[in-house]
Amino acid sequence: MVLSDERICLSFMFPFGFGNPPLFLPWQDVAAITPEQTRLESRAVITLKNQWVTVSLHGKAADAVLARYAHERAHRSTETK
Distance CA 1, CA 57 (A): 10
Residue 66's pLDDT is: 93
Q: Give the CATH number, domain containing residue 27.
A: 2.30.29
Q: CA–CA separation, 50 vs 58, rounded Å?
A: 23
Q: How many domains does the chain have?
A: 1
Domain of 10 in residue numbering reads as 2-79
What digits encode the pLDDT tens for the residues 5-64? 888 988 876 666 667 788 899 989 999 999 998 888 889 999 999 999 899 999 899 999
Distance CA 4, CA 64 (A): 12
| pTM, entire model | 0.79
Give yes or no for a contact between 57 and 65, defined as CB atoms under 8 angstroms apart.
yes
